[in-house]
A and B are shown apart, each in its own frame.
Chain A
Amino acid sequence: MNEFRQVPGWLTDPSHWSGADGIPERVVQHLELSFIAILLALLLAVPVGLWVGHRHRFEFAAVTAANAGRAVPSFALLVVVFILMLHVWPAIAFGPGPTVVVLTLLAIPSILTNTYVGIQSVDADAVEAARGMGMRERQILTRLEVPLAAPLMMTGIRTATLQVIATATLAALIGGGGLGNFIVDGFAQGDTAMTIAGAMLVASLAVAVDFLLSLAERAVTPKTESGSRPRARIPLAALRRSARPQAEGAPYVPPTLPH
């Protein structure tokens, strides 16, 4: 337990707060890697999810691809992409390249499935009614389906972001930068305080980003008639629905995966 006692000292040492391997620089790198990956994943996954959900086509393929993506251990994927890049395109293998590719791949399944399921589970009668009122397909998508699917899409983005932030920690192993460097260097130099401080910084970053995204999730949840947003209490009704896809046609919702 003594190791924990050195951590406050390490964290408050001013020399750890400046320079290319200072805490602020590493936090920025970590967030940059994560942000670029999430942005790329959004660009790739959201259009596909919208299209599949709206048209009800290639649903099985989308789901299967997303599920298979989840079985891949992220550490294994990171290292394999790195060595493949070393062979195929060595110039960009050292640096953020492989990390961004892998983080993007890891973020796609959650965003894709949640977008698709959110759109697909919009009440078919409401869509029919909108069509009957003369709305164009594009309008139905942007004015009806997307707003209703937004909370679920946001949950997917939140899950993906958590996984990306967790896996970005491993980028340090392949020279990708980020907060993982404190952990990797700490181990290499036998500096336990640095290792533990690094782990604490990563955990705090994840918790902070998750909290911000939970606010975003709430903000996109449509208000009820009384003007309040539904509060998340014990979601027994939702659990009941989610556990019985047969009865309600809604897909089963398992919890967020640890990373």
Chain B
Amino acid sequence: MTPGLLGQLVDWSWIGAHLTGGDASTPSIRSLLVQHIALTVIAVAIGTAISIPLGILSYRRHAVYVPVTFVSGILYTIPSLALFILLIPITGLSFLTVEIGLVSYTLLILVRNVVAGLAAVPADVKDAATGMGMRPRQLLWQVELPLATPVIMAGVRVATVSTIGLVTIGSLIGKGGLGMYIRGGLQTFFDTEILVGAVLSLLLALVADALLVGIERLLTPWTRRSDRRTRRRGRRELVGVAGGR
């Protein structure tokens, strides 16, 4: 469709040349993809590592939950670009700046889901476990956390998908994975570069989400023999109603 729109927009030879080869001004597709994945994985991993203990603490202590939700409520309203820029005087134009921003946003999603997951564990299940002689620590690790896993994983999925989107905004301060192509292509009006950045970051979000669904299944084998009805419910769980901070 060469005079067509797609032919005008996409220069396939550029894509071929940049799959693994790049230069200082335009890094290769592979290197930016790796950078994008690394930024996302680090943010979600650190975010999860902090959120689980913080979530457990928030669930147990009102005095922790209130300030945590208050701070996250305010942080949430601050646009990511503004947050990145406000961090620059402290941490410079570095990966650290982007990473601090990304981790804080994942915390907001994850802590809330950890609390929601723990709150969803039925009280009679906990009573039964205590009656069987489980200590609080055993109860937490063997009953509460496993049963909270689906809700926590739903949070991890939301956090991952939104982090992948936020990484592209990091390109405005020079550290943005595939967003660098979107930014770079916009400066030179080079459509191919923009489309590669945009399409790959969208694909990355979709693939990451699908992968996490798989991981969730592995972590919660007892939900696997669910009938079609529960699976449909599982899908509804991801309806994603906005709000509820």
Contact with A along B113-153 (1 / 0, CB 8 A): 10111011000000000000000000000000000000100
Using Cβ atoms and an 8 Å threshold, which residues of chain A touch B191? 83, 87
B14 to chain A, nearest CB (A): 15
Using Cβ atoms and an 8 Å threshold, which residues of chain B touch A75? 165, 168-169, 171, 179, 182
Contact of B195 with A by CB under 8 A: yes
- CB–CB A253/B119 < 8 A: no
List the one stretch of A18-26, A126-134, A138-146, A234-242 in contact with chain B. A234-242
- A interface residues with partner B (beta carbon < 8 Å): 1-4, 63, 66-67, 70-77, 79-80, 82-83, 86-88, 109-110, 113-114, 117, 152, 155-156, 158-160, 162, 165-167, 169-170, 173-174, 180, 183, 187, 192, 195-196, 198-200, 202-203, 206-207, 210, 234-236, 238-240, 242-246, 251-259
How far is A246 from B233 in the complex, measured between Cα atoms in Å? 6
Using Cβ atoms and an 8 Å threshold, which residues of chain A touch B109? 254-255, 257-258
- CB–CB B240/A254 < 8 A: yes
Q: Which 6 A-B pairs have the closest CB atoms?
A: A166-B79, A155-B243, A243-B120, A73-B165, A76-B198, A159-B242
Closest to B157 in A: A254
- CB–CB A74/B165 < 8 A: yes
- CB–CB A245/B85 < 8 A: no
How far is A76 from B86 in the complex, measured between Cα atoms in Å? 23
- CB–CB B154/A254 < 8 A: yes
- CB–CB B182/A251 < 8 A: no
How far is A4 from B90 in the complex, measured between Cα atoms in Å? 10
- CB–CB A71/B209 < 8 A: yes
Number of B interface residues at 8 Å Cβ cutoff, please give it: 71
Query: Would you list which residues of chain B between 53 and 77 have a CB under 8 Å from chain A?
Result: 62, 65-66, 74, 76-77
Partner of A170, one of B77, B81, B209, B243: B81
B26 to chain A, nearest CB (A): 16
- CB–CB A76/B182 < 8 A: yes
How far is A196 from B233 in the complex, measured between Cα atoms in Å? 46
- CB–CB A257/B169 < 8 A: no
Partner of B241, one of A73, A158, A234, A253: A253
How far is A167 from B81 in the complex, measured between Cα atoms in Å? 9
Partner of A3, one of B89, B116, B197: B89
Query: Would you list which residues of chain B between 186 and 245 have a CB under 8 Å from chain A?
Result: 186, 189, 191, 194-195, 197-198, 201-202, 205-206, 209, 230, 233, 236-245
- CB–CB B85/A258 < 8 A: no
Using Cβ atoms and an 8 Å threshold, which residues of chain B touch A158? 243
A192 to chain B, nearest CB (A): 8
* A73-B236 contact in complex given A83-B191, A83-B194, A87-B8, C-beta closer than 8 Å: no
